[in-house]
Structure 1
Amino acid sequence: MDINEIEEIIDLQKPELYINRELSLLEFNKRVLAQAKDEKVPLLERLNYLCISCSNLDEFFEVRVASVIQMAAIDPKAIGQDGLTPSEQLDLIAIHAHQLVDEQYQVLNEILIPKLAEENIRFIRRKEWTEAQLKWLEAYFNDELLPILTPVGLDSAHPFPRILNKSLNFIISLTGKDAFGRNSGRAILQAPRALPRIIQLPAEDTASGAADFVFLSSIIHAFVDQLFNGMNVKGCYQFRVTRNSDFFVDDDAIDDLLLAVEGELAMRNYGDEVRLEVDAKCPDETVTFLLDRFEMTRGRLFLVDGPVNLNRIQEINDLVGRPDLKFPPFKPAVPQQLERSKDIFAAIKRHDILLHHPFESFSPVVEFIRQAAVSPDVLAIKQTLYRTGADSPIVSALITAAKAGKVVTVVIELRARFDEKANIDLAAKLQEAAVHVVYGVVGYKTHAKMCLVLRREGKQLRNYVHLGTGNYHPKTAQIYTDYGLFSCDKELGEDVRRVFAQLTSLGKVTRLNKLLQSPFTLHSGLMDKIEREIRHAKNGKPAKIIIQVNAVVEEQSIRALYRAAQAGVEVKLIVRGVCCLRPGVPGVSENIEVRSIIGRFLEHARVYAFANDGDWEVYASSADLMNRNMFRRVEICFPVENKKLQGRILQDMNLYLNDNTQAWILQSDGSYQRLQKADDEEPIQAQAVLMHDLQ
């Protein structure tokens, strides 16, 4: 049977060929949690992975589950590419999320807390407090907590208070009467966010070197009766509510995007309830009361054996000075051609420069903008900012450039999720310095990572560019893996200038020489390259596709990869998080391998590589294979044409494909299995090799 007959028989739109996006995201968090159980990982880093899995789950409910709930209300019969209705998705999410949460608390209580105790890092429970500790904690409660805690007794004059998103709260059962003869039997206490969730006890024996901690919730439980003078506290139970935090801005009904985003931000803490976490010891009657109050079903109730705000335990990493329990310090290297040259523009002019963060330092990117800011030959700087900080050295350099009289234009994406407030503040700071600030294109997030410097050199003007797969954020560049390219290629520079012109002005789509750009040419360009590999395979030529991204979701891309696999193209996907493509399906995807690398650094690079009959084409991009990246965002995909740099990226990708230590292989049922090296194999850990080789 030839390939044409196979394509006619197998319907590539069948739901069983697609993995549910939300369940795939939960699988990613399982892989993160697995790091917390890995004995080869330093102990405090294991605690950190546990907390990351919890904060990831918070965002999962705030954004992903919230969107499914909305869809269930708007169009309950809607069917996704995987054949599931919204209500069916919610049922499956509930099953898998409860299993994940149970495992998180099991890891905390049965593995990490005992292991930390062995290292003299102890969480002291109330029944274990010594007399001296009890006395100190009571003083702490009276001095630090009592003055700012405000319990609300529930009655007709004191309705159930508005509960902030993800805040720590307590529901308290009471008997007796107060001074006015009142008692509804219940009160609510909200813990202000300014309070630390973990309190370090003074050392009773300084020689032991022990670090003893108590949860804020334990202190409040122990002394809560002091908040209700003359009444009896029958029970005190912590709870937390997660709310829909993915706000909506009507692009057709706004005159000022900044004001619209500011208005929506004010409501984020009070979106619709999507999850309720309650102390597992809480009586069912009280749990039912809370469920009724928040109008939630038991499928979204999580009874937990420990602090409801588990991710706040991450504070321990800053409180404990134990470098022996953390990853060894790592200092990224600066490429030799940049280290030898004080003039970064001269170095770029000699040839393109590729950086692989965090194995190579992000400092050359900062230096590129800093030198541009102070150089008398630089006339203009154009920059996109998606996630960065107002105190960023890049922002400081842009302000310096504007004050020096250079034309500085910054495209800020106000709707970068959970960074909206920071970006609004950043826009104000830049505007005060006379920087031209624009917010991109209404209806399309600007997610492209690019910087353009216009420099006068003799009688000509030359464009220097930096293009990247990650954000211009020096801190995240230390923990996210990304590629960045410096170039002064004439056609590439002109392409970047044209994209900036699109973002800052009005006009038709302009033809680009080398860049692929969404929402215009990126998707079709990638599809054309996949189809070319299919033709090569059908003509008996070597054909291969290697893609490294954070997510594979977009349906047309998945079907194109299925067709490629059917045609005999070897398809290798390195996908950190969500993957809706199902590998290993007979007649469809036997030629596709999907692996995920989970390690010290967060894999974030996006690379698309095509064998092209031996003349490899390699593109790096700001875009994942997702609908939003292809059709609802401004993204760029840039070629790496220098053969030496191209070879470096292909070598890096092959290293990831040979990793037998931190790789997880996606199975056809949607689960992942950690790759186990054979007894006679040498261990290969891609990130560790890159840390060593790029020094």
Structure 2
Amino acid sequence: MSHREDTPAGELAETGSAPTDRIDRELSQLAFNRRVLAQAEDSAVPLLERLRYLCIVSSNLDEFFEVRIASLLARDRIDARAANSLASSARFEEAYAVSHDLVERQYAILNQEILPELSRNGIHLLRNQDRNDAQRAWVKAYFDREVRPLLTPIGLDPAHPFPQVINKSLNFIVQLSGKDAFGRGNAIAIVKAPRVLPRVIRLPDHLSDTGGVSFCLLSSVIHAHVEDLFTDREVLAYSQFRVTRDSDLWVDEEDVKDLRQALQSELQTRHFGFAVRLEVAKNCPGALADFLLDQFSIPRARLYAVDGPVNMNRLMALVDAVDQPALRFSPFTPGYPAGLHHVDLYAVLRQRDLLLHHPYQSFLPVVEFIRSAAMDPNVVAIKQTIYRTGMNSVLMESLILAAQHGKEVTVIVELMARFDEEANINWAERLERAGAQVVYGVVGLKTHAKLALVIRREEGRLRLYAHMGTGNYHPSTTKLYTDFGLLTADAELSAEVNEIFIHLTSLTKPRQLKHLWLAPFDLQSQLLGAIAREAAIARSGRRGHIIAKMNALVDDAVIQALYAASNDGVKIELIVRGACTLRPGVPGLSENIRVRSIIGRFLEHSRIFYFRNDRAHNVYLSSADWMNRNLLRRIEVAFPVRDVKLKRRVLQEGLEPYLRDNNNAWELGADGAYRRRRPRKGQAPFCAQQYLMQKLGGNT
């Protein structure tokens, strides 16, 4: 690893008038991406996985600009005269500076480390000057056959205005000499790369001089033959470019009759939101870059001149195309819980709760929970929330089948799940056609809770079975994200799950819930109460202890409560994967608070809240991060793990290994910088994810 233990992963110092007891949220989010980038720098990580991490950083930065930065800039656009304009503030200038450094390091790793190493392993990404004569001839034929017919160069003049450029699409700006066919001197042309063309192209193996496999990028193919598009005119300069736009969807939910129809209309405009970032090639002439900046009304601070493809995320196709297992993480097979093979799942749940820890344990029991319910003649109703489920889902197909078989199927589909809106609209339409009752949650609040309920007639009465989870009902992410799920026939918990479904469909006030914490009603207040209880215990001289794991911590009320508890002597250990605005380890403020982040093979996604509570050891799992939006502007649920053995499992699998990790852990200091943890002298290395793979996986 190129970073020593004491190397900061991006400075997060406060600037301007921001409170000194907080870390800037945008800088904290960028620091998370710096930690992800460190995985690409790590020579111990398999080579293709290092390239995958580079692509993940690229994708994360896209979302950072098109959602987070865009939303803050949009706030400025509403009141351009605001005295505290974010766009011109020092904190934004620092965020842009940090993001520029991050992007420069990203491309340096690609060009100086990853691509040379790939080449040494027989995987070649060829630019035009790298290709031999036979390869150039093949690329020329490919261009003429597959690419040129789809290109429509636009020479700019009053009759040919600057074309609409789609969000994150590949485009080229070309400067031409001479005059056009009509004797006019229009000097600029725009070429848009069709989205139907692959961005990574594999060349025939027999054309290689060096063996192995060779690829080239579509941008390289067009660069090599851009002059073929402009007969009798000389190309003086050109550059690829890419524009990132505001991608948040907005509909006036109070003023529409059908949210789905309104959202379908809004999706058509997502690609053309206001521009927030411009990426060009490193060798793009300044005059062309200035022309584009002016065209898109983007300030120079958000211009990125990159030494490689303007969309590095497209290299994910190369990662997926190469068949070299030695350059990837070793295959992992999730474990299947003992005693669940070929058994009646409902009979098992009547005896005990079932805790599943993904991706170390298979998601198949959850799939079987819904699939068997669809076919079971004793099941009369199924209810489920859907936030993200993907384009292909066995779970969704099972719900459709259940509805077709006449069961009462109710699905809360969150249409506003960012970047999954289209997939969710499609599922909603199919479910309705099958006869399911589909609702879209609550106007103005995203339904982010992960709940499923099966109602079964047994011995003349109805019995309820529930699944509650920290992650989405998504077949792909359950293999990549760490999450917990609880399957239960607990009568009290299942009844409260049903009350939440009734609340979401009827919009009536939910009954008082004894066990589940429900946002936006009482989840935040319950959290604050649990924190205050630990503080009171510590003030009385007894031991107060909080351990919590989540994706982000930015809620001011929770942070203030944690600071107060720290000052009362509560030991607080936080595992926060991404943005964290709490500043730990500050004397007199947070000296009893420790914050760490784990970045590894799997995306840490589970939310776990532990309160010692005078040895009651309260353990909650949740869909909610400690963010204002989750606690007050979403439908979220936190649910208790009541079984003593399962509580112990959550602690031993979900928290304790992550507090021991000295391989993938980063500690957040009082100065706001993250530092990589490494084994101390004489200390054995310990990786939480590797430990859990060995403990729970099916490979062993």
TM bucket by the smaller chain? over 0.9
- The 5 A counterparts of 1:294-333 are 294-333=296-335
Distance 1:79 1:602, change over 3 A: farther
Of 46-55 and 182-191, the range deviating more from structure 2: 182-191
Please give the secondary structure, in 2, of the residue aligned with 1:614. Answer: coil
Match of 2:59 in 1: 55
Mapped to 2, the partners of 1:390 and 1:155 lie a distance apart of: 42
Please give the secondary structure, in 2, of the residue aligned with 1:180. Answer: coil
One-letter amino acid of the structure 1 residue matched with residue 110 of structure 2: L
Match of 1:9 in 2: none
Please give the secondary structure, in 2, of the residue aligned with 1:613. Answer: coil
The counterpart of 1:190, out of the listed 189, 192, 204, is 192
Please give the secondary structure, in 2, of the residue aligned with 1:251. Answer: coil
Contact 1:24 1:580 survives alignment (8 Å): yes
Mapped to 2, the partners of 1:208 and 1:390 lie a distance apart of: 40
Contact 1:413 1:446 survives alignment (8 Å): yes
Distance 1:446 1:590, change over 3 A: same
Deviation at 1:474, TM superposition (A): 1.3
The counterpart of 2:112, out of the listed 110, 113, 119, is 110
Mapped to 2, the partners of 1:206 and 1:644 lie a distance apart of: 59
Mapped to 1, the partners of 2:288 and 2:177 lie a distance apart of: 15
Q: What stretches of structure 2 of length at least 5 have no aligned partner?
A: 1-16
Match of 2:387 in 1: 386
One-letter amino acid of the structure 1 residue matched with residue 44 of structure 2: K
The counterpart of 1:657, out of the listed 643, 656, 659, is 659
Distance 1:14 1:57, change over 3 A: closer
Match of 2:577 in 1: 576
Match of 1:31 in 2: 35
Distance 1:85 1:126, change over 3 A: closer
Match of 1:538 in 2: 539
Partner deviation per Cα, 1:509-553 (whole Å, 9 max, x = no partner)? 321121000000101011110000000000111110000000001
Deviation at 1:213, TM superposition (A): 1.3
Deviation at 1:231, TM superposition (A): 1.1
One-letter amino acid of the structure 2 residue matched with residue 415 of structure 1: M
Mapped to 2, the partners of 1:416 and 1:331 lie a distance apart of: 29
Contact 1:390 1:429 survives alignment (8 Å): no
- The 5 A counterparts of 1:156-555 are 156-204=158-206, 209-339=211-341, 341-555=342-556
Distance 1:101 1:390, change over 3 A: closer
Deviation at 1:76, TM superposition (A): 6.2
One-letter amino acid of the structure 2 residue matched with residue 19 of structure 1: I
Partner deviation per Cα, 1:228-247 (whole Å, 9 max, x = no partner)? 11111111210000000012
Contact 1:71 1:86 survives alignment (8 Å): no
Contact 2:27 2:98 survives alignment (8 Å): yes
Deviation at 1:75, TM superposition (A): 4.5
One-letter amino acid of the structure 1 residue matched with residue 119 of structure 2: A
Distance 1:219 1:208, change over 3 A: closer
Mapped to 2, the partners of 1:292 and 1:206 lie a distance apart of: 43
Mapped to 1, the partners of 2:148 and 2:86 lie a distance apart of: 50
One-letter amino acid of the structure 1 residue matched with residue 122 of structure 2: N
One-letter amino acid of the structure 1 residue matched with residue 102 of structure 2: L
Deviation at 1:212, TM superposition (A): 1.0
One-letter amino acid of the structure 2 residue matched with residue 671 of structure 1: A
Deviation at 1:207, TM superposition (A): 9.7
Distance 1:92 1:206, change over 3 A: closer
Mapped to 2, the partners of 1:536 and 1:175 lie a distance apart of: 79
Contact 2:442 2:507 survives alignment (8 Å): no
Please give the secondary structure, in 2, of the residue aligned with 1:165. Answer: coil
Deviation at 1:77, TM superposition (A): 8.2
Partner deviation per Cα, 1:76-95 (whole Å, 9 max, x = no partner)? 68799xx9887333212111
Partner deviation per Cα, 1:275-330 (whole Å, 9 max, x = no partner)? 00011111111111111111111011111111101110111122111111001111
Mapped to 2, the partners of 1:197 and 1:307 lie a distance apart of: 10
Mapped to 2, the partners of 1:612 and 1:104 lie a distance apart of: 45
Deviation at 1:613, TM superposition (A): 1.0
Distance 1:79 1:449, change over 3 A: farther
Please give the secondary structure, in 1, of the residue aligned with 2:360. Answer: coil
Match of 1:603 in 2: 604
Mapped to 2, the partners of 1:541 and 1:146 lie a distance apart of: 75
Deviation at 1:128, TM superposition (A): 2.1
Mapped to 2, the partners of 1:209 and 1:648 lie a distance apart of: 50
Mapped to 2, the partners of 1:484 and 1:218 lie a distance apart of: 46
One-letter amino acid of the structure 2 residue matched with residue 407 of structure 1: E
Partner deviation per Cα, 1:416-460 (whole Å, 9 max, x = no partner)? 000001111111111111111110111111000000000111022
One-letter amino acid of the structure 2 residue matched with residue 196 of structure 1: P
Please give the secondary structure, in 2, of the residue aligned with 1:302. Answer: strand
Distance 1:138 1:206, change over 3 A: closer
Contact 2:390 2:420 survives alignment (8 Å): no
Deviation at 1:376, TM superposition (A): 1.1
One-letter amino acid of the structure 1 residue matched with residue 588 of structure 2: G
One-letter amino acid of the structure 2 residue matched with residue 321 of structure 1: D
Mapped to 2, the partners of 1:24 and 1:431 lie a distance apart of: 42
Q: Sequence identity, in percent?
A: 52
Please give the secondary structure, in 2, of the residue aligned with 1:612. Answer: coil
Mapped to 1, the partners of 2:649 and 2:37 lie a distance apart of: 31
| Number of matched pairs | 680
Deviation at 1:251, TM superposition (A): 2.4
Distance 1:79 1:418, change over 3 A: farther
Contact 2:73 2:86 survives alignment (8 Å): no
Deviation at 1:209, TM superposition (A): 4.4
Match of 1:629 in 2: 630
One-letter amino acid of the structure 2 residue matched with residue 566 of structure 1: N
Distance 1:295 1:346, change over 3 A: same
Q: TM-score, normalised by structure 2?
A: 0.95
Contact 1:370 1:394 survives alignment (8 Å): yes
Distance 1:77 1:682, change over 3 A: farther
Mapped to 2, the partners of 1:269 and 1:439 lie a distance apart of: 24
Match of 1:97 in 2: 99
Mapped to 1, the partners of 2:90 and 2:364 lie a distance apart of: 48
One-letter amino acid of the structure 2 residue matched with residue 250 of structure 1: D
Match of 1:8 in 2: none
RMSD: 1.6
Please give the secondary structure, in 1, of the residue aligned with 2:206. Answer: coil
Q: Residue 142 in 1 paired to residue 169 in 2?
A: no
Mapped to 2, the partners of 1:199 and 1:508 lie a distance apart of: 56
Q: TM-score, normalised by structure 1?
A: 0.96
Of 384-393 and 420-429, the range deviating more from structure 2: 384-393
Contact 1:452 1:465 survives alignment (8 Å): yes
One-letter amino acid of the structure 2 residue matched with residue 420 of structure 1: E
Match of 1:5 in 2: none
Please give the secondary structure, in 1, of the residue aligned with 2:457. Answer: strand
Contact 2:179 2:186 survives alignment (8 Å): no
Contact 1:389 1:426 survives alignment (8 Å): no
Deviation at 1:662, TM superposition (A): 0.4
Distance 1:402 1:34, change over 3 A: same
Q: Residue 590 in 1 paired to residue 591 in 2?
A: yes
Mapped to 2, the partners of 1:437 and 1:177 lie a distance apart of: 60
Mapped to 1, the partners of 2:389 and 2:449 lie a distance apart of: 14
Contact 1:495 1:512 survives alignment (8 Å): yes
- The 5 A counterparts of 1:69-108 are 69-75=73-79, 87-108=89-110
Q: What stretches of structure 1 of length at least 5 have no aligned partner?
A: 1-12
Which structure would you say has the larger RCO, counting Cα contacts within 8 Å and 6 or more residues apart? 2
Contact 2:39 2:50 survives alignment (8 Å): yes
Deviation at 1:122, TM superposition (A): 1.1
Mapped to 1, the partners of 2:112 and 2:208 lie a distance apart of: 27
Deviation at 1:59, TM superposition (A): 0.4
Please give the secondary structure, in 2, of the residue aligned with 1:156. Answer: coil
Mapped to 1, the partners of 2:387 and 2:362 lie a distance apart of: 20
Match of 1:20 in 2: 24
